[in-house]
Amino acid sequence: MVAILQAVFSGLALGGIYALVALGFNITHSTTKTLNFGQGELLAAGTVIAVSGVMLLAGKGMHGTLDPQDVTLWRYAVSLLISVVVLGLLGVLLYYTAVRPFIGLGGLSWVMSTLGFGIIIQNTALAIWGPSAMVIPSPLGDNVIRIGGAGVLPQEILVVAASVVVMLCLDTVMRKTKIGKAVRAVAHNKNAATLMGINVPAVVVLAFAISSSLAGLAGLLIAPITTASVFMGLSIALKAFSAAIVGGLNNARGCMLGGFLLGLVESMVGLWHAELREISIFMLIILVLVLKPEGLLGTRVAEKV
Partner 1 sequence: MKGRAHLLGVAVVALAIAAAPFVTGNGFYLKVLFLIGVNYLAAAGLNVLVGHTGQKSLGHAGLFAVGAYTTALLTTRLGWNPWLAFVAAGVMAGLFGVLIALPALRVKGPALAMVTIGFGIVVEKVVSEWQDVFAGQQGIYGVLSPSWGGRAFGDREWVWFVGVLGLATHLMIRSLLRGKYGRAFMAVNTAEVAAESVGIGVYRSKVLAFVISAVTCGLAGALIAQQNQYISSDFITFNLSIFFLLIVLFGGSSVYGPLLGAIVLTLLDAFLARWPHVQHFTYGALLLFALYAMPNGLAGWIAGLSRRLFPALAKPAAVPPPDGAWRLRGAEILAAERPLLAARGLFKAYGGVVPTNNVDMELKTGHIHSLIGPNGAGKTTLLNILSGIVPPDRGSIEFNGTDIVGLAPNRIARLGLGRTFQNLKLFADMTVLDNVQVGLHRQMATGFLSALLGLPAAARAERHAAAEAAQILDFLGLGDKAHERAGSLPYGLQRRVELARALATHPRLLLLDEPAAGLNPQETRELVDVIAKIRDLGITVLLIEHHMDLVMAISDHVIVLDYGEKIAEGRPAEIQRDPRVIAAYLGADDPDPDAGDTRAPDAHIASATTHG
Question: What type of residue sits at position 237?
Answer: A
Instruction: State the minimum distance, in angstroms, from the CB of residue 232 to partner 1.
Output: 15
Distance in angstroms (rounded) separating the CA atoms of residues 195 and 146: 56
Instruction: State the minimum distance, in angstroms, from the CB of residue 189 to partner 1.
Output: 17
Name the segment binding partner 1 (CB under 8 A); options: 80-88, 103-111, 175-183, 212-220.
103-111
CB 135 within 8 A of CB 227: yes
The answer to whether residue 305 forms part of the interface with partner 1 (CB under 8 A) is yes
Instruction: State the minimum distance, in angstroms, from the CB of residue 289 to partner 1.
Output: 5
CB 50 within 8 A of CB 82: yes
| Residue in 89, 128, 202, 283 binding partner 1, rule: CB under 8 A | 283
CB 99 within 8 A of CB 113: yes
Name the segment binding partner 1 (CB under 8 A); options: 49-57, 71-79, 264-272, 281-289.
281-289
Considering only residues 226 to 245 of the shown chain, the ones binding partner 1 according to CB under 8 A are 234, 238, 241-242, 245
* Number of residues in contact with partner 1 under rule CB under 8 A: 44
Which residue in 45, 234, 36, 211 sits closest to 121, CA to CA?
Answer: 45
CB 259 within 8 A of CB 240: yes
Count of alpha carbons within 13 angstroms of residue 46, beta-carbon side:
35
CB 295 within 8 A of CB 26: no
The answer to whether residue 289 forms part of the interface with partner 1 (CB under 8 A) is yes
Instruction: State the minimum distance, in angstroms, from the CB of residue 165 to partner 1.
Output: 28
Name the segment binding partner 1 (CB under 8 A); options: 44-52, 186-194, 255-263, 275-283.
275-283
The answer to whether residue 131 forms part of the interface with partner 1 (CB under 8 A) is no
Distance in angstroms (rounded) separating the CA atoms of residues 71 and 50: 12
CA distance to 35, 37, 99, 279, per residue, from 111 (Å): 8, 6, 9, 24
Instruction: State the minimum distance, in angstroms, from the CB of residue 187 to partner 1.
Output: 15
CB 208 within 8 A of CB 28: yes
CB 229 within 8 A of CB 222: no
Interface pattern 167-206 for partner 1 (x via CB under 8 A): ----------------------------------------
CB 12 within 8 A of CB 260: yes
Name the segment binding partner 1 (CB under 8 A); options: 2-10, 109-117, 137-145, 202-210.
109-117
Residues that bind partner 1 (CB under 8 A): 29, 35, 97-98, 101-102, 105, 107-109, 111-113, 115-120, 122-123, 126-127, 234, 238, 241-242, 245, 249, 275-276, 278-279, 282-283, 285-286, 289-290, 293, 295, 303-305
